[in-house]
Structure 1
Amino acid sequence: MQKPLLVTDFLDRAREYYGDHEAVVATTGDRYTYDELGERADRFAAFLQSRGIEKGDRVAVLDPNTHYHLEAAYGSIQCGAIHTPLNYRLTADDFEYILNDARVDAIYADYDYAEKVEAVRDSVPTETFVTNDPDAVDGDWEGFDAVVEAAGTDYDRPEMDEDEVITINYTSGTTGDPKGVMRTHRCETIHAYLTAIHQDISDDDVYLWTLPMFHVNGWGHIYAITGLGAKHVCARGVDAEWLFDTVVEENVSYLCGAPTVLNMLIDYHDDHDVATQGDNDVRIATAGSAPPEATIRTVEDEFGWYLMQVYGATETGPLITTSDARRMFDDDSRDRFRVKKRQGLGFLGTELRVVDEDGNDVPRDDETIGEVVVRGNQVMEGYWEQPETTEEAFSERAEGYYHMGDLATVDENGMIAIQDRKKDIIITGGENVSSIELEDTLFDHEAVGSVAVIPAPSEQWGEEPKAFVVPANGNPDDPGVTADELIAFTRDRLAGFKALKQVEFVDTLPTTATGKVQKYELRSKEWEDEDRMVGEG
């Protein structure tokens, strides 16, 4: 028997079995059951259809992690409309490009970000504009609560097929205009199943939304948490004091956080006597870049949280690997840090390979570097209206596999460890140097708060490693360590050719909305006066 895999099933299941259970703790302080969440989604669906929204139309959602995001997403999907979440850190010009590229028909935008859309309103095809606080927004915007109250709950759910596109997630556009990643019902559903399995999600989980919901649908958690009947705790931003307080007060059991979020929490914990968990044990998933062992050790040994590292990309669901391979380490052994800092094993049903330039698998020696490629049911359908770019992404080294652009090694157990992005690997004097290895080494220095290493121009070697360091004391003018001392620190611990050559102390590092350091900004600035493009080796 075959039953279509549809993302509408997740909220349907929660309403059927957990209707009177608490579903959402809103940023407003309101609390909603799954029956109430479902009714508000129904009403938004009815409103959209009253404005002419049909199956296949695009409905954008621009919102921090509030209950409105969940309601707008499910309301859109129930109409058969394509949910198009937007990164709230983008500029008005970015929104103009995306709204035109996707030909968005309707948008819900949080009051904090609606002004960026209002600024380009006359140059986009969008006709329906909704916000959660129209009094706080200039222009003609309808209020979310008002329209759902007036709409009623009756709407027509169209027949849907699992192979139809139901979401478009836009990439960050770091190497050009953002690309729309198309994901089908089947793709989203299987990814949510895999996330639920590998992240141990269950109906008694209390999930804290520190990860942006717009980011590949919150790594699929808008589906997985909902479908299992667990509880969403919403958050408009990430503040360390609030986060620790909320973990205790709401008995949070699960959250996600980039390494930069982990560092923020560690810094606060070091300076304050703070409780780290309520009645539930806490587990946390991290991704973006491998946290250094010192970070993992603090989170697990001092916070008492269980850390899992995952890995992926917008194009892959995003999640395709996990470091949570418990048969490969003892919970009480320090060896677990060696395993947990790896990106790990492929998810169920996911074919993960590391291949050389000819498309052949590299040996499992944990030394030979190749590119990560992947096949799986959670991988995207393709890029929105970009067939040539889609073909290139699936065919460069290994035909039929999505090419991640990350360079990795594989150990004897098949666990991968990312060494660098293809464009971030530093080729100095003919030798390959991993910026990640250098960053991991620098994190062991007590004066280093955060760091990013990139290739910098070198007359002698072509390029050489340079570190941008945010001092632990927060003062780049008096960092508590000299550049020469940090260079010597790396030389003492690594092969000579891998050692740092340059250090620059800075206030902050540029990051994405999910906390991932944007090295391309640092590279662009560093190479702006050079004749060649960066990352060519």
Structure 2
Amino acid sequence: MDAKVSPYLQGLDKTTANYAPLSPLSFLARAADVFPDRTAIVHGSQRTDYRTFYKRSRQLASALTALGIGRNDTVSVMLSNVPPMLEAHYGVPMAKAVLHSMNTRLDAAIIAFQLDHAESKVLITDREYAPVVKEALALASVRPIVIDYSDPEFPQTGERLGAHDYEDFVQSGDPDFQWSLPADEWDAITLNYTSGTTGNPKGVVYHHRGAYLLAQANVITASMAKHPVYLWTLPMFHCNGWCFPWSLSIVAGTHVCLRWVRPKPMWDLIADEKVSHLCGAPIIMSTLLNAGDDQKRALEQPVEFFTAAAPPPESVLAAMKTAGFNVTHLYGLTEVYGPAVVNDWKSEWDDLPLDQQAQKKARQGVRYVALEGLSVLDPTTLEPVPADGQTLGEVMFRGNVVMKGYLKNPDATEAAFRGGWFHSGDLGVQHPDGYIQLKDRSKDIIISGGENISSIEVEEVLYKHPDVQAAAVVARPDEKWGETPCAFVEVRPGSAASEDDLIAYCRQHLAGFKAPRTVVFCELPKTSTGKIQKFALREQAKAL
């Protein structure tokens, strides 16, 4: 007798009536339908409503399609927090292509590597970055179609590098372009590169489904009501702005663009535009708090501030609260679409003494609603460590907001997903209430101003200096930047190299933010096998 087939498996199939691939592109289409006249973007004197935002995104998609750009083609952008960056987050995937947002602080060699590794077909670049992009294009093997953006609100003098002007290119597109959702929600939507902790950076691939879910989780985590006003202090190139370019469309919010992070423009925009939310590294808090009295503004509205990296000191949190900001601590990585862990504050903690509140705030927290699994595991056995707040393990993630994998790097992808978990490389503990707390970084990453700096990369440059015999780079706590690179150096006999000499040398061979701020000349502490004891150097750096 044949086994009975469950009625739930008969005639209940996916159809166009009951299933559609998840993609954040649908958020903008809905916002334009429901709130067409609502202000979507503020940039200088420009005001763009959702009807126009959607139209321009479709025009960009149409123009890219006319160039022959299609599914899985890479469109690279070198842009600051300006309207074309927002349009690219929709227009590029509407053309079925993959958006590759580049860090505007990178040097030419790394930019060239990324263009080649991504096999970029198109490059949209701001004229501000013309010198470094021109050098990168000369180094790269690929020859992308270059489109120059000239900011009408903040004109730049950099030379034009391509045959296309961005505004003319967009206007050549069809405002009624008939885009469609991806055939598969697992299709790639964006490509983001890690900082390259060893060797070249790795290309992290996001899919439409993950971007859709993380964007919604941001709205929930940030308690965003309808029509929030969001100030772009976080670089949009960083994990696609933590997916907030898509989040704002869900609630028809307003993007307030910020080309440069400067204290007076930030205070003015927060006050004049009635900003309700912003994100950023601790450097943003320092910039706001250290502004002159003639630059600060009294705020009529409370502002939600979401920060990552090292938790801010209690004194900074208190100063931010006095200034009108409520700070929430987030944690994540490029491989999990940006933030995937939140220090979810409980109201009963408000009654704790300040020192105990500070201890609670120092923890990274619990998983986002879009993340299925967050745990601290023994990196060898993959067994959970005791939730005692003491036992070290590796922080691991699992779920729909974990990357597809590393582009053209199956070995690294397999290693990252060993045992069915994404291995973060961060060491931490789990407290009895389930909240996790980071204790160290297994790869000695330095987080400065929200940017990841590889200590190994800096060390490799120092070792190339003719006077350097040995070098080790660690993080030094910094009130403004969170952390800065601190180099401990042994020089060769007879060397006359100074601290300024070595810092200048590093600046010649690295992006400026990666160069050490401090150089200490000493004999490096080593184990009996000759391994440099970085933990000892970190303690010395703290005492400097």
Q: Which of 403, 425, 430 does residue 423 from structure 2 map onto?
A: 403
Q: Does the alignment pair 1:312 with 2:295?
A: no
Aligned to 2:229: 206
Which secondary structure does the structure 2 equivalent of 1:70 belong to? helix
Aligned to 2:30: 13
Q: Does the alignment pair 1:374 with 2:403?
A: no
Matches within 5 A, 1:466-477: 468=476
1:316 to 1:100, Cα distance in 2 relative to 1, 3 A: same
Aligned to 1:232: 255
Contact 1:317–1:380 (8 Å) recurs in 2? yes
Q: Which of 121, 135, 140 does residue 119 from structure 1 map onto?
A: 135
Aligned to 1:24: 41
What one-letter code is carried by the residue in structure 2 that aligns with 1:280?
Answer: Q
1:467 to 1:73, Cα distance in 2 relative to 1, 3 A: closer
What one-letter code is carried by the residue in structure 2 that aligns with 1:155?
Answer: F
CA displacement 1:112-167 (0-9 Å, x = unmatched): 11332222335332431111129742433411111222333243425512011111
Give the TM-score of the pair, scaled to structure 1: 0.78
Aligned partners of 1:523, 1:381: CA distance in 2, in Å?
40
Aligned partners of 1:80, 1:524: CA distance in 2, in Å?
51
Aligned to 1:34: 50
Aligned partners of 1:341, 1:74: CA distance in 2, in Å?
36
**1:342 positional shift:** 1.4
**1:528 positional shift:** 9.4
Aligned partners of 1:62, 1:527: CA distance in 2, in Å?
42
1:471 to 1:184, Cα distance in 2 relative to 1, 3 A: closer
Aligned to 2:86: 70
Aligned partners of 2:177, 2:34: CA distance in 1, in Å?
22
Give the TM-score of the pair, scaled to structure 2: 0.77
1:16 to 1:352, Cα distance in 2 relative to 1, 3 A: same
1:117 to 1:525, Cα distance in 2 relative to 1, 3 A: farther
**1:59 positional shift:** 0.6
Contact 1:55–1:158 (8 Å) recurs in 2? no
Aligned partners of 1:61, 1:224: CA distance in 2, in Å?
20
**1:47 positional shift:** 1.1
**1:465 positional shift:** 11
Contact 1:24–1:31 (8 Å) recurs in 2? yes
Between the two proteins, the alignment pairs up a number of residues equal to 466
**1:276 positional shift:** 5.0
CA displacement 1:151-190 (0-9 Å, x = unmatched): 3324342551201111111111132211110111001111
Which secondary structure does the structure 2 equivalent of 1:54 belong to? coil
1:523 to 1:381, Cα distance in 2 relative to 1, 3 A: farther
Matches within 5 A, 1:70-109: 70-109=86-125
**1:415 positional shift:** 0.9
CA displacement 1:233-286 (0-9 Å, x = unmatched): 000111112211211111111001211221222222xx5266555332111000
Unaligned runs of 5+ in 1: 426-434, 440-451, 457-462, 473-503
Measured on the aligned residues, the alpha-carbon RMSD in Å equals 3.7
What one-letter code is carried by the residue in structure 2 that aligns with 1:10?
Answer: F
**1:93 positional shift:** 1.2
What one-letter code is carried by the residue in structure 2 that aligns with 1:365?
Answer: D
Aligned to 2:282: 259
Q: Which of 333, 344, 349 does residue 324 from structure 1 map onto?
A: 344
Matches within 5 A, 1:164-313: 164-268=187-291, 271-272=292-293, 275-276=296-297, 278-300=299-321, 302-313=322-333
What is the percentage of aligned positions where both structures have the same residue? 31
Aligned to 1:145: 167
CA displacement 1:442-486 (0-9 Å, x = unmatched): xxxxxxxxxx9x999xxxxxx9998746689xxxxxxxxxxxxxx
Q: Which of 383, 387, 401 does residue 406 from structure 2 map onto?
A: 383
